[in-house]
Amino acid sequence: MEKSALIIVDAQRGFMPLEEGRRVWPNLSDDERQKPNYGWGELPVPDGGEIINPVNRLVAASIQFGHLIATTQDWHPSNTAHFSDKPDYQTTWPRHCVAGWSGAELHPNLALPASSERFVKGTEELKPGQEDTSYSGYNAFAPNIVIGFGNKRLTLPYFLEQRDVRKVIIGGLALDYCVGQTALDFRQKADMDVTVISDATRPVASETGEAMLEQFREAGISYTDSETWIREQSKLDIQQQNSDNARYEITDILSDSLTPRGIGQWLQAHNRLLGQTPAEALADGRDEEVQAAAQAFVDGSYI
């Protein structure tokens, strides 16, 4: 069965406004806020702190629905061409989310389960002009896990592929950069069903945010709010539960015999509980003996 995963992209202290740090830790002194390792507001996304409550709702719903949960984090080295004292805010940026420093930590109010998986990106010590892969969670990898004898990294796409995930739900920061590029990559490179949650992300700027939404429309990426997604997912979850229960009942009907009476009841149950015609029921059969007996019954050749 195809599975779903919630991906929380870069919900880190470094991308949160300074005001969010004051709100979360109101009792810190001004001197403590001036320390280099304070972390908040290194490269702030306007209103970035407002994503935390919607993200937590998505986490709680994903736990209920049995979805996988993964986080990504920028995890930059101290010395990299990704940073500049005179950033152009296109290919170079102020220092932020340095590996092991406070700015790289996830927002402390994220309510993540112990089962969530952590992935990092942007770990390369880039030289000027070198390709920068830090803009997409598609390039993220598990920092403490290697696979096989070649010490290959466990990447986020491989992790999801191995768990039959074909649908991803994405929130985090920022819409017009890492969230957007993550969504586009999973859609275009992995051909996944992608939904970005509108109230669980924020853009750096409205103009670039609108440009990213246009790319979503062209790529076939869904964009909806958390309440709508949870409501629709709840309906699908109930439908799946009803379908599973129906299949258990159908299996019970055939538990005793494959008599014409039993086969007839089996076909009727498929129609009543799953809305399937006899032909659809046959195609959905799991047991060759059952399929053969049912086909004979439908053909009128059952002896």
Say what the pLDDT of residue 303 is: 38
- Fold topology of 3-235: Rossmann fold (3.40.50)
Say what the pLDDT of residue 28 is: 87
Say which residue, 132 or 246, is predicted with more confidence: 132
Please determine, for residue 30, whether its predicted confidence score (pLDDT) is greater than 90: no
Neighbours of 227 (CB within 10 A): 12
Summarize pLDDT for 107-162 with one digit per residue, the tens.
Answer: 999 999 999 999 999 999 999 989 999 999 999 999 987 776 666 889 999 999 99
Please determine, for residue 291, whether its predicted confidence score (pLDDT) is greater than 80: no
Say which residue, 35 or 256, is predicted with more confidence: 35
Domain boundaries, the chain: 3-235, 254-299
Q: Which H or E run contains 198? A: strand 193-202
Say which residue, 62 or 277, is predicted with more confidence: 62
Please determine, for residue 2, whether its predicted confidence score (pLDDT) is greater than 70: yes
Quickly list H helices, the chain.
18-24, 30-33, 52-65, 156-161, 180-188, 206-219, 226-253, 260-274, 278-284, 288-299
On whether the CB atoms of residues 16 and 44 are closer than 8 A, the answer is yes
Percent of the chain with pLDDT over 70: 76
- Specify the pTM: 0.79
Say what the pLDDT of residue 125 is: 95
CA distances, 161 to each of 1, 43, 58, 71, 156 (Å): 12, 32, 21, 16, 9
Instruction: Please report which confidence band the pLDDT of residue 255 belongs to, taking 50, 70 and 90 as the band edges.
Output: very low
CA distances, 41 to each of 20, 71, 78, 91, 225 (Å): 8, 20, 17, 19, 26
120 bridge partner residues:
73, 141
Say what the pLDDT of residue 109 is: 96
Q: φ and ψ at 51, to 5 degrees?
A: -80, -15
Say what the pLDDT of residue 138 is: 96
| Residue whose tokens read 């702190």 | 49
- Give the residue-averaged pLDDT of 35-42: 88
